[in-house]
Structure 1
């Protein structure tokens, strides 16, 4: 996978690039926001799988760069920054960042997050709210069948009516069974908004899904983190 590393500190960039290269990534280093935007132009070679974006850049704020990236490409963006406050996290996710990692971080966690967003955002595939643009294989989880193109869900062959957001939430979790989705991540991807004031809405939708599907154990609460879908035994 090609990866664009946007980092103005050459020492930090060199160390991280070396680690990423050992794990099979082809790393391009951009030292400023403008360099990053130029590297993302369509005539600069094969597309990047992920952008690692520092916020403290010399020419423009990383938030601004993220907004400009999102206007021209759907390439996943992970913000990697020392800004640990909640408002910065929310602002970054609202601008279209796929994830937000605070320095100092564990390298293993960063690699896991890179792989997670690259699996979730494959070029040409639709997201949870855009599943009617072309054919897609249904998702089968034990007795649960999720048909993405028609947005239909059935359990043991019986149709289960879901609201739009209930379907989007279930489809998001079902695309990666066993993977824990953070609450903030779910809110950002399904509701396209920030966590503030929306947490109760998520809890209500989770409870409704458990009730409608009559499978309370299907969606597991991971205390203090978020939720994951537990695939039923076949």
Structure 2
């Protein structure tokens, strides 16, 4: 079986080399020493997962993540020495899938990388060739990863789409924030619950601005969120 390809983006040679030593047995490793180089590689090379340093001189990891997210849906792990929870939340909100703080144990690095790949492959299988049509107003195409309102495509981030599709495909289920964090971000820290609320808010704004006549995500106070169709409002 061909090894998955991992792109390591870090301006420090020592860190790139350390990551390569830990990962090269199980992955084909490609390196980039700056953000612009990383974006060029993603444009030209099939990549399965990215490890992306935040603090780089030419372009921050946050900016690189945002630019790549406009092109590709592949998993991105942010790597940083910063431990501020605000930095972690920012990374998750712009589309990062995980956040690893330096220094780290090699076992944790490998476990997190493999978990990201498993979730990525699972979503591809789960969403294959499936379309949901809602009240002649909205459609969710989980194969193309597109949401349309009145035939107009809504620009959702990868995490917004994953979150919305999960809730919409399980209309009878109420999801608490901890479950959504685990299924979409692979996080079990309740301090990150604000990330879920922010993404839900953004989804609601985007579909409302597109002309949807109802709120498709219901807040179940004290519990979490569930899907809501026009029939639920009558």
TM-score of the superposition, structure 2-length normalised? 0.60
Aligned residues: 173
Q: 2:29 aligns with which of 7, 27, 38?
A: 27
Report the equivalent of 2:38. Answer: 36
Q: Are the equivalent residues in 2 in contact too, given 1:131–1:151 (CA < 8 A)?
A: no
Cα deviation digits, residues 140-168 of structure 1 (max 9, x gap): xxxxxxxx798357xxxxxxx335xx399
Q: Give a deviation string over 1:53-92, Cα, whole Å, max 9, x none.
A: 0011121111111111111111111001111111111111
CA distance in 2, matches of 1:58, 1:202: 44
Matched, 1:162 2:180: no
| 1:64 partner SS | helix
Q: Root-mean-square deviation (CA), in Å? A: 3.8
1:11 aligns with 2:29: no
Name the CA shift for 1:187/1:56 in 2 (closer, same or farther; >3 Å): same
Deviations 1:14-70 (A, max 9, x none): 121011012x111100000001000101xx33x212110001112111111111111
Q: 1:103 to 1:150 in 2, by over 3 A?
A: closer
Q: Name the SS for the 2:79 alignment partner.
A: strand
Gaps of 5+ in 2: 133-140, 144-165, 202-218, 227-234
Partner Cα distance (1:104, 1:38) in 2: 28
- 2:50 corresponds in structure 1 to 51
Aligned to 1:151: 169
Against the structure 1 CA distance between its residues 173 and 81, is the aligned structure 2 distance closer, same or farther, given a 3 Å change threshold?
Answer: closer
Determine if contact 2:177/2:193 at 8 Å carries over to the other structure.
Answer: no
SS in 1 for 2:83: coil
Q: Which residue of 1 aligns with 2:63?
A: 64
Q: Secondary structure at the match of 2:11?
A: coil
Distance 2:131 2:190 in 1: 22
CA distance in 1 between partners of 2:65 and 2:168 (Å): 33
TM (norm. structure 1) is 0.60
1:121 alignment partner, SS class: helix
Q: 1:91 to 1:131 in 2, by over 3 A?
A: farther
Name the CA distance, whole Å, in 2 between partners of 1:40 and 1:8: 17
Q: Which residue of 2 aligns with 1:156?
A: none
* Contact 1:99-1:185 within 8 A present in 2 as well: no
Consecutive unaligned residues of structure 1, counting only runs of 5 or more, are 136-147, 154-160, 195-200, 210-234
Whether the 8 Å CA contact 2:180–2:196 is kept in 1: the answer is no
Spell out the pairing of 1:193-232 with structure 2 (5 A cutoff): 204-205=222-223
Distance 1:53 1:168, change over 3 A: same
**SS class of match (1:181):** coil
Q: How does 1:120-135 map to 2 (within 5 A)?
A: 120-122=119-121, 124-125=124-125, 132=132, 133=141
